Amino acid sequence: MLSLSKNNRLRHKLIRACTSRSRHSLWICITLTAVCFITRYLSRHPQSMVSPIDYHQHSRQSRYQSQKTFYPKNQTHELTVAQAAQARDTARRLMPYTPDMHSWHKSQQQELNRLLACRQSNSCNPMDQNLILLGTVHFSRVLDGIFSKNAAFPAGEAIWADAFLWALNQLEYPYLVVDGVDHNETNVRLGEIHSLLAPNVKMVIGDYLSIPQCFNNKACAKSDENVNGIPHHKLFVFDGFGQDVGHPLGRKWHLTFYPQEEKNFTYLGLTIEHYCHKFGVVPPKERSNKVYILGKDRGYLHKPSPTLYPESMWAAITNATGVEFTMGTKQKHLPGIEARSTEPKDQLIDGIVDIGTLSRDKFIYELQHHKAIIGLGWPVQPSTPLEALCVGTPYINPVWLGRRSQPDRSKWHTQHPYLARFDPPYVYNVQDHRPEDVQTAIEELLKNPLEESFIPDDMKKEAYLNRVKQLVQLNWLQAAQSSPPPPL
């Protein structure tokens, strides 16, 4: 009350002063009066003026703000100067950073330093007990900015890795992206980081090349010679295509893009909803009269690749429908089909225009402005059709076995088994080596265009977040102990 009365007296004095002064100082008086009112308001509303929505609820930094720790307060202690220096030096050695590197190396070094320090001081927060070590190049490529560059190779694994990083950030699980000059150096670093933070580490994720090497690396996986190595139940294969690398505990420790229950892989899936929705759906009338061919290499059009369509099909369909075909390949700088100097595998087929490789945003822009996309059969189960459907662009899916004879679509041999279960206006399943099927599909999608975004239910953000949460929270040690040994 005393502070309020003082504010009131000051306000009245200022008002009297304003009325007694000349007009040219009126604005100064008004400003001072406003300051008094603001001061009075703040004294009556001491709580923070910042709305909670001003903070990104799922930022990487938000989990560091928590005052809660995993340990009782009477068990925590301050680090000594020597301990702090040791944590810092260890982080610098295992997560090296130089000014010519991307800044994420520095932030990851700081994250490792924080985790080492909180382990020594018993001050880690509860979320730190779910640490994920990421030891495959797909994650470092995402952080290096692969999507801002023209992609000269299929980037499906990077898109999958991007979705996983997004989910970890949303769920506020801590992670460390560990990389080296090769798999061996990466695995050695993974092994040492795990030995330092073992109680905190929930999962160690590699790929179909690095995990088998980890099992054979004396400094990586747990063995009779390395009792402090990474236990087998913490090692996971991050491989979208389900290549069985012979994990000692079986296929449940293989994480895949798409469901493959019959093979007993763990379906992680992905989501592109968090990324593609910022682009929106372009109305059909505003799109170019073109169909985009999936493939970043002209070699997909020629043997020995498993070519599914006759070379004459593209120009013939253009003549019949007016629809043109575009493709974005790494060989755009090379001459077209007419150049004899061009290797056969690098030649461009008549009826196709090559627009070159693009960054991810520019590529999605092209998907937005095409009538449809069509697959060539390779690579299998790409992520691009999901991006296309998200921006309202249908997918023409080639099928080479089972479309006419097998009612169970899960048994079809097709470029995209996951999307084969859907029908127009989203997915058009066409028989290989039948140009008339492709032409019919194009004519149908021109008459009945897709006008909305489409994302399969299990690929939506919330469904994906739930799967990631279940993956991290599962007791994998118990699962390993209860699972029968894999067949020899």
How far is the CA of 462 from the CAs of 95, 167, 266, 350, 448, in angstroms?
33, 10, 18, 44, 30
Q: What proportions of the chain, in percent to the nearest 5, are helix, strand and coil? A: 45, 10, 45
Q: Could you tell me the pLDDT band of residue 25, with boundaries at 50, 70 and 90?
A: low
- pLDDT over 80 (residue 103): yes
Helix H or strand E encompassing 414: strand 413-414
Q: What is the pLDDT of residue 422?
A: 97
Q: pLDDT value at position 59?
A: 37
Q: State residue 40's pLDDT score.
A: 52
Angle 299-323-380 (CA atoms, 0-180°, nearest 5)?
35
What's the pLDDT at 57? Answer: 30
3-class state of residue 297 by DSSP: coil
Cβ atoms of 138 and 158 closer than 8 Å: yes
pLDDT of residue 61: 37
pLDDT at residue 448 in the model:
97
- Stretch 278-296: mean pLDDT, rounded? 96
CA gap 242, 245 in Å, rounded: 9
Alpha-helix runs per DSSP H in 216-359: 273-276, 313-321
Q: Where are the domains of the chain?
A: 84-89+103-271, 274-454
Taking the C-alpha atoms of residue 194 and residue 220, their distance in angstroms, rounded to an integer, is 9
Whether omega for the bond prior to residue 435 falls within 30 degrees of 0, making it cis, is no
Residue 19 pLDDT > 90? no
Residue 11 pLDDT > 70 = no
pLDDT above 80: residue 55: no
Which strand (E) or helix (H) includes residue 131? strand 131-134
Using CA atoms, how far apart are residues 280 and 369, in angstroms rounded to an integer? 11
| Mean pLDDT across 86-95 | 97
Looking at CATH, the fold of the domain delimited by 274-454 is given as Rossmann fold (3.40.50)
Q: Residue range 388-394: average pLDDT? A: 98
- pTM value is 0.82
Q: Chain-wide mean pLDDT for the chain?
A: 85
The pLDDT > 70 percentage for the chain reads: 81
Listed ranges 72-86, 137-151, 333-347; the one with the highest mean pLDDT: 137-151
The backbone torsions φ and ψ at residue 487, rounded to the nearest 5 degrees and listed phi first, read: -65, 145
User: What does the pLDDT look like over 353-380, one tens digit per residue?
Assistant: 999 999 999 999 999 999 999 999 988 8
